[in-house]
Amino acid sequence: MRTPETTRATPTPTVQQTTVPVTRTPTTVPVTQTIPETTLPGTQTIPPTTTTVTPTPTIPVVPVTVLVYPSGPVYLPTYYYPPGYSFPITSYYPSGSLTVTSDPSEAVVILDGYNTGTTPYIFTGLMPGYHTVEIDYPGYEAYITNVYVDNGAGMEVDANLVPLVSYGSLFVESTPLGADVYVDGNYEGASPVTVSSLSEGAHMVELHLAGYEVMTSTENVVAGQGTVINLAMVPYSSSSGFGSMDITSNLPGTLVYLDGIYKGSTSSGNTFNVISVNPGSHTILLHIPGYTDFTQTVEVTGGKISYISAVFTQPSAAPQSSSASSGAVGAAGSIFASSSPAGGQVYLDSQFRGVAPVTIYNVASGTHIINMKLPGYSDWSSSVDVQGGQVAQVAAVFAPGSGTIPVPTRTELSPFTIVGALAIGTVAVVYRIRR
């Protein structure tokens, strides 16, 4: 706020006398001088001669009056600052700074979308607020972060760049086919199966199949290439100390319990293998909501396979209405969610519902959003239509990436919010004064 300017009196000039020379154009005055005629011997007569003489002019002195005013200070605007205001007038100009370093150095720095230089780099004169810093170096993942810079503050960003990971794939076959394939402990499906998005290097492959010994192998993945492997499994011998089970169900997503212990869920078109079962009598329970549980006592023999096949029908005690069985609106259904690689975190309508493969029961009919996340991979999302009394299947295939990165945000106050707050404060003050 500027204070009103006061009326300044006009300064009184002083009078100084000085002599200023005045130059005039010289005047030529002709003067005629007559020389008498002279008669020389020899009868030669010299005529009279006229000579012009220029006299020296007189330069008059003219007095001139010069007015001299006294000098004063340079005019500067005056600003009003309330008591305790700690910022000088220079605070109106941005003075924040940001120092950016990286390992390795000489990385390209992009500030707020503009390519500005290479690390180490110092930005000065930054406006207060959030700034986006991106650091790029060939062969390394891009480093992106948001930095809040206060006026007059110096911030620092030090980026340890992560080398890019090269990916390859494995095509896994087995003899016999249909073995459950695990890579680095993650279930990938039944053989033959292609396991993609594997980082370059060694990976542990494990095969499970009822009636056969567990097969393990270490396989090397080459970046940009697909490696084909065919592993021959060794059947149980008659003297083997374990047996196994081969379970099938007419409905995918059936939950499998062995002696009350959850073992997993069935998938469409594949058998469910339970290996390394001790010989003797065991209880198998298969469960799907809305159907009568399937229960069977199984006798397991060492070195042999026990086969279980379940067929689910509508329960007779509490049959579902025709509207529910036909998928009427309001009836509940189920979702069987799987992922490749397995182990994806499954979210149904933004609520965490388990780790793939997983069956989600009692889902209202209609359209729902499925999101899956897995460290080291980009997030996966899809919509799914659920019908009452039916099981919808969702299969996610993850692509390498960094996934969702939370970006800090700063809540800005709108002018309407500020004006509203001031109005409320004014009303409160007036109310207190009146009281």
Got the DSSP string for 6-74? PPPPPPPPEEEEEEEE------------PPPPEEETTTEEEPP-----PPPPPPPEEEEEEEEPPP-PP
Dihedral angle, C-alpha 287, 289, 291, 296, nearest 10 °: 10
Q: Are residues 145 and 172 in the same domain?
A: no
Q: Are residues 299 and 175 in the same domain?
A: yes
One-letter identity of residue 367:
T
Q: How far apart are CA 170 and CA 194, in angstroms?
A: 6
Q: Residue 392's domain spans which residues? A: 322-397
* pLDDT > 70 fraction of the chain, expressed in percent and rounded: 68
Task: Check residue 87 and give its pLDDT.
Answer: 53
Write out pLDDT tens, residues 146-188: 888 887 788 899 999 988 777 888 999 999 998 989 898 888 8
Q: Are residues 246 and 183 in the same domain?
A: yes
Q: Are residues 181 and 119 in the same domain?
A: no
Q: Are residues 326 and 207 in the same domain?
A: no
Bridge-based pairing of strands 108-111 and 114-118 is: antiparallel
Q: Per the omega criterion (within 30 degrees of 0), is the bond before 357 cis?
A: yes
Q: Are residues 297 and 344 in the same domain?
A: no
198 beta partners? 168
Residue 138 within a domain: yes
Q: How far apart are CA 390 and CA 333, in angstroms?
A: 5
Using 50, 70 and 90 to split pLDDT, how confident is the model at 415? very low
Using 50, 70 and 90 to split pLDDT, how confident is the model at 86? low
Question: Does the pLDDT at position 355 exceed 50?
Answer: yes
Tell me which long-range contacts 310-313 makes (C-beta under 8 A, separation of at least 24).
310/247, 310/248, 310/249, 310/250, 310/254, 310/286, 311/249, 311/250, 312/249, 312/250, 312/251, 312/254, 312/286, 312/288
Task: Check residue 402 and give its pLDDT.
Answer: 58
The encoded tokens of residue 70 equal 């006294």
Q: Are residues 178 and 306 in the same domain?
A: yes
Residue 389 within a domain: yes
DSSP 2: B
Q: Is the pTM of this model over 0.75?
A: no
Please state the rounded mean pLDDT for residues 389-403.
Answer: 81
Averaged pLDDT score across all residues of the chain: 75
The encoded tokens of residue 266 equal 């069935």
Closest CA to 247 of 287, 199, 290: 287
Residue 260 within a domain: yes
Please state the rounded mean pLDDT for residues 398-414.
Answer: 50
Query: Within the chain, how many helices (H) and strands (E) appear?
Result: 2, 32
Contact 286, 247 (CB under 8 A): yes
Question: Number of folded domains in the chain?
Answer: 3
Contact 144, 111 (CB under 8 A): no
Task: Check residue 409 and give its pLDDT.
Answer: 33
Question: Does the pLDDT at position 410 exceed 70?
Answer: no
Residue 360 within a domain: yes
Closest CA to 56 of 19, 17, 27: 27
Q: How far apart are CA 246 and CA 324, in angstroms?
A: 32
Q: Are residues 336 and 302 in the same domain?
A: no
Q: How far apart are CA 165 and CA 140, in angstroms?
A: 9
Q: How far apart are CA 291 and CA 274, in angstroms?
A: 23
Q: What is the CATH number of the domain that holds 378?
A: 2.60.40.10
Write out pLDDT tens, residues 195-243: 887 888 899 999 999 889 889 999 999 888 889 999 999 988 877 788 8
Bridge-based pairing of strands 193-199 and 167-175 is: antiparallel
Last residue of a domain, one of 287, 310, 333: 310
Last residue of a domain, one of 276, 310, 344: 310
Residue 7 within a domain: no
The HSE-up count of residue 360 (CA atoms within 13 Å, CB side) is 25
Last residue of a domain, one of 261, 282, 310: 310
Which H helix or E strand runs over 294? strand 294-300
Q: Are residues 281 and 224 in the same domain?
A: yes
Please state the rounded mean pLDDT for residues 100-111.
Answer: 91
Which ranges of 296-377 would DSSP assign to H, the alpha helix? 322-325
Q: Are residues 340 and 273 in the same domain?
A: no
DSSP 5: P
Residues with Cβ within 8 Å of residue 303, at least 6 apart in sequence:
236, 237, 238, 239, 240, 242, 243
Residue 80 within a domain: no
Contact 180, 190 (CB under 8 A): yes
Q: How far apart are CA 180 and CA 211, in angstroms?
A: 13
Q: Per the omega criterion (within 30 degrees of 0), is the bond before 252 cis?
A: no
Residues with Cβ within 8 Å of residue 41, at least 6 apart in sequence:
none
Write out pLDDT tens, residues 288-339: 877 888 899 999 988 889 999 999 886 645 444 433 444 444 567 888 888 8
Q: Are residues 393 and 293 in the same domain?
A: no
Q: Are residues 371 and 241 in the same domain?
A: no
Residue 328 within a domain: yes
Q: By 3-state DSSP, what share of the chain in percent is helix, strand and coil, each rounded to 5? A: 5, 50, 45
